Structure 1
Amino acid sequence: MPYATPKAGLPGQMDLHTGRATFTEAYAVIPHGVMRDIVTSYLPHWRDTRLWVIARPLSGFAETFSQYVVEVQPGGGSERPEPNAEAEGVIFVVSGQLTLTLEGKAHLLEEGGYAFLPPGCVWSLVNKSTAPASFHWVRKRYETVEGISPPEAFVTNENEVDIRWMPGTNDTWGTTRFVEPDDLRHDMHVNIVTLEPGAVIPFEETHVMEHGLYVLEGKAVYRLNRDWVEVEAGDFMWLRAFCPQACYAGPQRFRYLLYKDVNRHAKLPF
């Protein structure tokens, strides 16, 4: 199945400037049209690799995670990818092939490939193919809990995980869940939400979890705080805690990669 990826390049000089990029006190929208060559970045110990940073911890915005869209050229990658031993991560491949070596074992990740990387695990990622590859990399500082061990690493593909349809929706709104919601070892979920054509999220969700939503496929009208915003494949939405949200899916299947923080006490300022 096709997944959206940044098209890079630069717009033509005669293109209209008017766009959909928005940053408010409650949410941000980074449309695919602004993910261009000029805003890419590079990382230490990664070769032949560039990335778009689409989320990062930001003072005043209460954000718990970072998210990159990473593009790796043939032969590129890293043997020292994660500099923070306290960080956990999720990798989700959206184009090409990558070889993930995890605790000494090699895994071929193709489109739809998903890997959970617990804090302190030993891993590397290399593009051994002849074509570029792209993946999402979601990172969060793991919150340890006394008496609960961190979760183990695992590798899968979204095609191997069934969609769990919401009750009463006639299988039109569902979630591909890569870990069980009540597994308290996990303090973040990175799932895929699917809405079939015309399906809706029929109420304004207002909750403590903050979100990163990258649209993999389709288009929709999304409620963000007080606004209805049109979004499509390749767009990214960034919602702080308690930002109201709802959705009307468009004329084709609408899918997005969803981050949320879960299963931990609220931090108290004393």
Structure 2
Amino acid sequence: MTNRSYYAPEGGLPPQSRLMTGRAIFTDAYAVIPRGCFADTLTSYLPGWSKTKLWMIARPMSGFSETFSQYVMEVAPGGGSATPEPDPGAEGWLFFTGGLATLTLNGQGHELEAGSFAYIPPGSRWTLFAEGATPARFHWIRKIWEPAPGLTPPEPLVINERDIPPAPMPDTNGTWATTRFVAPDDLRHDGHITIVTFQPGGVIPFEETHVMEHGLYVLEGKAVYKLNQDWVEVEAGDFMWLRAYCPQACYAGGPGPFRYLLYKDVNRHARLRGPGAFGPPR
């Protein structure tokens, strides 16, 4: 695999001389948070994390993300956490866009760099500390793992994107490909994180309309994305949230590849009772 670039927010604050007009959009069906919104005034901090700031780009709330949260993390050298996850029922996915860090997961150490991916099962013991001369930058996606009869949580996984051949979509001649970190038919996983790549001219040639909720962070390139009834230009550093059944398609115009980190919820029955459903709890 060729060397990849992964966009990470630069922070700071736009100058007073810059025009305010931007590309941010929030609707009932989708949202776009453009990279220009990733200013230092919008960062947050987490209990138990030192020398760390983050942009919280998705969280469960009415009218927005229902199944996951997503943070864009920046951990300064020497920073990190010995108690990163407060919820024992939460599973986590980490994808690194820059810097170096040591992840200790259930007693085993792993060196993480740009392109590294880690799946952290619920109830895991883990720590993470930035070890390089520059900040460690990564996405942290969290979800409550949903049990199902006969299934146990998946094992931990640490791998790098460069070690996984992208799988071309059928009949696309390689212009549309997906890097899958886990097997799609492993039903223990109730969420998938993948990297989708379009070569210049590649398209989603129909309006995908499906039950999976999406979070898409553009790692590289630019494209025009169809979101519900609108065509929206997006580029590296932009984040998109798509609710279930939001029609979607895209056209990658070039000049280079268009690549994004994709979240979707999968492999579980529709909930009919309790929170988020119509039937009363049993």
Regarding TM over 0.5, the answer is: yes
- Tell me what 2:275 maps to: none
Give the equivalent residue in structure 2 for 1:260: 264
TM-score after normalising by structure 2: 0.95
Residue 61 of structure 1, CA deviation: 3.3
Map 1:101-250; keep pairs closer than 5 Å: 101-250=104-253
Tell me the CA shift for residue 62 of structure 1: 5.5
> Equivalent residue for 1:75?
78
| CA positional deviation for 1:2 | 1.3
Aligned residue identity for 1:237:
M
- Matches of 1:131 and 1:182, distance apart in 2: 38
Q: Matches of 1:217 and 1:183 in 2, distance apart?
A: 28
State the identity %.
Answer: 65
- Is there any run of 5+ residues in structure 2 with no aligned partner, and where? 273-277
Separation in structure 1 between the aligned mates of residue 245 and residue 190 of structure 2, nearest angstrom: 18
Q: CA deviation at 1:133?
A: 1.2
SS of corresponding position for 1:231:
strand
Aligned 8 A contact 1:62 1:241 in 2: no
Distance 2:182 2:131 in 1: 29
- 1:130 deviates by 1.7
The question of whether the paired residues in 1 share the 8 Å contact of 2:180 and 2:194 is answered with yes
Partner of 1:37: 40
Q: Does 1:97 align with 2:97?
A: no
* Mapped contact 1:9–1:37 kept (Cα < 8 A): yes
Q: Which runs of 5+ in 1 are unaligned?
A: none
Deviations, residues 215-234 of structure 1 (Å, cap 9, x unaligned): 00000000000000000000
Q: Is the contact between residue 8 and residue 37 of structure 1 (CA under 8 Å) also seen in structure 2?
A: yes
Greater alpha carbon shift after TM alignment, 127-136 vs 55-64: 55-64
Deviation, 1:58, is: 1.0
Q: Which amino acid aligns with 1:175?
A: T
SS of the residue corresponding to residue 263 of structure 1 reads coil
Please give the secondary structure, in 1, of the residue aligned with 2:18. coil
Q: Is 1:59 matched with 2:53?
A: no
Q: Give the whole-Å Cα distance in 2 for the aligned partners of 1:230 and 1:154.
A: 34
- The reply to whether residue 27 of structure 1 matches residue 30 of structure 2 is yes
Distance 1:104 1:116 in 2: 15
Structure 1 counterpart of 2:257, one-letter code: R
Classify 1:218/1:190 alpha carbon distance in 2 versus 1 (closer, same or farther; 3 Å): same
Structure 2 Cα separation of the partners of residues 62 and 8 of structure 1: 24
Q: CA deviation at 1:147?
A: 1.2
Superimposed CA distance per residue, residues 60-100 of structure 1 (whole angstroms, 9 cap, x where no aligned partner): 33610000000000000000000000000000000111100
Higher mean displacement: 57-66 or 1-10: 57-66
Distance in 2 separating the partners of 1:148 and 1:267: 17
Match for residue 89 of structure 2 among 86, 99, 121 = 86
The whole-number CA distance in structure 1 between the counterparts of 2:141 and 2:70 is: 4
* Residues in 1 aligned to 2:248 and 2:225: alpha-carbon distance in whole angstroms: 7
Indicate conservation of the 8 Å contact 2:59/2:65, yes or no.
Answer: no
* Cα separation, 1, equivalents of 2:222 and 2:262: 15
